Structure 1
Amino acid sequence: MNQPKYIYEVFPKILYIIDRNANLSWKLDDQINFYNIMLLYDGKAEFTCNSTTIQASSGDLLFHKPGDVRKAHTYTESPMKCYAVDFLYTCPIYQDNQWKFVNAPLPFSYSQKIGDKYLFSRLIDLFSRLNRSYLSTKDVSGVNQRLIFSEILALLFRYKEGNQYNYSNSRKVDKIINYMTENYMENITLQQLAEHSRISPSYLGSIFKKVTGKSTIEYLINIRITKAKSLLRDGFTVSETSKLVGFNDIFYFSKAFKKHEGISPSQYIDL
């Protein structure tokens, strides 16, 4: 599933957060005017959204949107435990030298099962941190809540992109990317990256492509070109920049730069 172009730009406004341990009298019976995400981590409950009724249990993620009519109750033999967040959001983007607000519908169905155990564990940790921050009285707690919840949304967006998503592999790839961003000026090989991540080169190449859509060398070149642009803007020559970002051959650097940016490094300096 391809996500809408701007989905990762959403800016949430959190209204309410709870770590709910439902007692037997707990129920929902309302029509909401906000968005709601709920992740069950223990017990069971029956939920009805408009005309759809489901039995939810640990690992189920429920999503409600403004206008939804909700009904729910838990069970005596297995009371529900879940994290729930009420929120609103907007999607501001900077385009054509001005700020614009675009429509970016959240890509969630009413109910989805988080089948990746590593992702589920990470989400539980993030929701727990979010709840603790919500209970805090620190002046910066609102900023912290947005950061944590934005990470939750980003993880869920990636999970919804397709069945190939694997959180454990994603963490391995993040480790490799961090290594490349810290050592881009060195002569990095696939073998070195594999040794750093303690997996085979062939497996690393496979999961890296699945997670990023690029090979390790393509990703490394992108990092180097991005850094090169900063150095060129700061007054470094093409030759100096080439060496500083890990290209031993200035002609290869110029070719890679033009392929990435559409212009040569010297033309970029003159912009």
Structure 2
Amino acid sequence: MYEIFPKILYVVDRPTSLSWKLDDHMSFYNLMLIYDGKAEFTCNNTTIQASNGYLLFYKPGDIRKAHTFSEDPMKCFGIDFLYTCPIYQDNQWQFVDSTLPFSFFQKIDDQFLFSRLLDLFSRLNRFFLSNKDINRVNERSVFSEILILLLEYKDGNQYNYSNLKRVDKIINYMAENYMENITLQQLADYSQISPSYLGNIFNKVIGASTIEYLINIRITKSKSLLKDGLTISETSKLVGFNDIFYFSKAFKKREGISPSQYIELVNS
């Protein structure tokens, strides 16, 4: 299941109108995450009323019907997709028939997981709307994380809220001190845990390393400084990069353009 290669067909953040309804025979897979309001959904012969926190799953061949309620219109994210599962085995690629083990509906009771899923669905929607080729890779990455989180949740893996608080504390520290020379050891000392344990829980909660997250903070801050007219050299030092070439490389990796191109873009 962790080797799935998805093809994203459509992503939407949908506030439903009073006349909204679905009545179709599925030819693709569909995930829907409800974050407000309520609606009635039918999958083949099963009908439920779903509201905030519900995740709906349809597969090819399912008959799908749905409608919302005038007193409380539903808002949800939706993803239409197909997938294949290529496995490299015995010196050759093979395509295995791997079935997603999700039921028609489930309620996400873990509030941290639900919050994380909302963020991922939202990011996936932004990538889809951007219509840039590079974002097709980003789409697959985000969608794969969604599937992995749902698979772990189905297997009973729960998030450790004490770890979540530690990660929040580290994020706040980095946001306030990004201009300093911050190391993993320094962050570990601040949170009073070992560097390896900090790296493990940070990556599990955020999906990125502490250094990757710190660089993202710095690049975000640098964009504001460059917009304000500071030079690339000045900006690099103010956001914690001692090497202007490393700053330019990190900026281009995250933004897709160099700092000088970004300056031209915002001034055009």
TM-score, normalisation: structure 1: 0.61
Look up the SS of the partner of 1:9 in the other structure: coil
Residue equivalent to 1:116? 110
Counterpart Cα distance in 1 of 2:164 and 2:136: 27
Counterpart Cα distance in 2 of 1:54 and 1:25: 19
Distance 1:173 1:66, change over 3 A: farther
CA drift at 1:103 = 1.6
1:42 is the counterpart of 2:36 = yes
Residue deviations 1:61-98, cap 9 Å, x none?
00000000011000011000000000000111111111
Counterpart Cα distance in 1 of 2:105 and 2:8: 21
Residue equivalent to 1:135? 129
Unaligned ranges ≥5, structure 1: 1-6, 176-181, 212-271
Q: Which moved more, 1:77-86 or 1:95-104?
A: 95-104
Report matched runs for 1:185-264 at 5 Å.
197-198=191-192
Q: 142, 145, 156: which is aligned to 1:148?
A: 142
2:158 partner amino acid: Y
1:18 is the counterpart of 2:12 = yes
Residue equivalent to 2:213? none
Contact persistence 1:116–1:167 (CA under 8 A): no
CA drift at 1:137 = 2.7
Distance 1:123 1:114, change over 3 A: same
1:129 partner amino acid: R
Residue equivalent to 1:59? 53
How many residue pairs were aligned?
184
Residue deviations 1:178-227, cap 9 Å, x none?
xxxx98xxxx9xxx99866557x9xx8xx98xx9xxxxxxxxxxxxxxxx
Residue equivalent to 1:232? none
Look up the SS of the partner of 1:8 in the other structure: coil
Residue deviations 1:41-76, cap 9 Å, x none?
000000011000000001000000000001100001
Contact persistence 1:119–1:168 (CA under 8 A): no
TM-score, normalisation: structure 2: 0.62
1:17 partner amino acid: V
Look up the SS of the partner of 2:73 in the other structure: coil
1:128 partner amino acid: S
Contact persistence 1:38–1:83 (CA under 8 A): yes
CA drift at 1:143 = 1.3
Unaligned ranges ≥5, structure 2: 169-182, 205-268
Look up the SS of the partner of 1:104 in the other structure: coil
Distance 1:79 1:198, change over 3 A: farther
Residue equivalent to 1:76? 70
Identical positions, percent: 63
Residue equivalent to 1:28? 22
